[in-house]
Structure 1
Amino acid sequence: MSEEQAEQLMQQMQMLETYFSDLSQREGTFYSILREATAAIESIQSLGKIPESETLVPIGMGTFIPTKISSNSKIILNIGAGVAVEKDFPSAINYLEARIKEIEVALQDTAAKKQDAASRLEQGKAQMNQMMQAMQQPKSG
């Protein structure tokens, strides 16, 4: 393997490592969104069971205002692009469950891409090891 090929392989490995890192970060974000959506569903379900409850509303910098929630079975749901809609509890739960399914699909896709990148990284490392061994062996001639 020539020096030029070795350099190309190193660049490919660096790009793959960056790609793998990006995929891992994306996967972490998806898991975070998944936990948030699940928690939202659980909160909506508990609000439906308790007609009135007390809670703390964050106003910034670790400061909270105690308030009462009077459940009238309506919730405001951010659907993206700065748009929020009012939905009843079952509709809000259905919307969030649909989002969870989308996130699960994205997670599966990301996991498959991560697996592919990991196997390509392993192949690259094996090639690098072979190249290093070939360079260390004395040439007979």
Structure 2
Amino acid sequence: MSEEHAQALLQQMQSLESYLNDLLQREETVMRLLQEATNAVESMKVLTGNSEYETLVPVGLGVYVKAKINPDQKMIVNIGAGASVEQNKESAINYMESRIKELEMVLQQLASQRQEVSMKLEQGQHEMNKLIQSNRSSPQ
């Protein structure tokens, strides 16, 4: 095999490694969003009954204000593109649960892509090893 082929293979493997790193970062981001959405749903489900709940609301730079939450209070839900809507608790929970399902699907797709790229990288490494072996065994 030629040196040109080895160079092309090396460049392809570097591109695949870069793409794999990008996929890993995306997976991390989606997992954080998934955890945040799950926590939000759990927090909303806890708000029940007739009593108010006291909480701390961040106002910036480590400063908090005590606030009371009424369980029947409407919630403001970010629906994307800078838009938010006011919803009752059940609607907000349903919306967040649908977002969780979407995030889980995205996570599965990313995992599938990551696995595919990893297999291609492994094949490239195997081919590179064969090239190295053939160059060592051939007389100069």
Q: Normalising to structure 2: TM-score of the pair? A: 0.94
Work out whether residues 20 and 117 of structure 2, in 8 Å CA contact, stay in contact via their aligned partners in 1. yes
Q: Which stretches in structure 2 are left out of the alignment for 5+ residues?
A: none
Deviation at 1:133, TM superposition (A): 1.1
Deviation at 1:49, TM superposition (A): 4.1
CA distance in 2, matches of 1:43, 1:97: 13
Q: Which stretches in structure 1 are left out of the alignment for 5+ residues?
A: none
Report SS of the residue matched to 2:54: strand
Structure 2 counterpart of 1:60: 60
Is 2:45 the partner of 1:45? yes
CA distance in 1, matches of 2:56, 2:100: 26
Which 10-residue stretch deviates more, 57-66 or 3-12? 57-66
Is 2:5 the partner of 1:5? yes
Change in 2 beyond 3 A, CA 1:111/1:49: farther
Is 2:91 the partner of 1:91? yes
Work out whether residues 27 and 111 of structure 1, in 8 Å CA contact, stay in contact via their aligned partners in 2. yes
Report SS of the residue matched to 2:92: helix
Deviation at 1:51, TM superposition (A): 2.8
Work out whether residues 72 and 89 of structure 2, in 8 Å CA contact, stay in contact via their aligned partners in 1. no
Change in 2 beyond 3 A, CA 1:2/1:138: closer
CA distance in 2, matches of 1:121, 1:85: 45
CA distance in 2, matches of 1:57, 1:107: 31
Deviation at 1:73, TM superposition (A): 3.5
What letter matches 2:78 in structure 1?
Answer: N
Report SS of the residue matched to 1:48: coil
Once the two structures are superposed, what CA deviation does each residue of 1:102-136 show, in whole Å capped at 9, x if it has no partner?
Answer: 11111111111000000000000001111111111
Deviation at 1:61, TM superposition (A): 1.8
Runs of 4 or more, structure 1, over 2 Å off, are 48-51, 70-73
Report SS of the residue matched to 1:97: helix
Which 10-residue stretch deviates more, 127-136 or 11-20? 127-136
Once the two structures are superposed, what CA deviation does each residue of 1:11-48 show, in whole Å capped at 9, x if it has no partner?
Answer: 00000001111111111111111101100001111123
Deviation at 1:50, TM superposition (A): 6.0
Work out whether residues 76 and 86 of structure 1, in 8 Å CA contact, stay in contact via their aligned partners in 2. yes
Work out whether residues 48 and 73 of structure 1, in 8 Å CA contact, stay in contact via their aligned partners in 2. no
What letter matches 1:42 in structure 2?
Answer: E
Is 2:15 the partner of 1:27? no
Q: Alignment identity in percent?
A: 49
Tell me the number of residue pairs that the alignment of Structure 1 and Structure 2 aligns.
Answer: 140
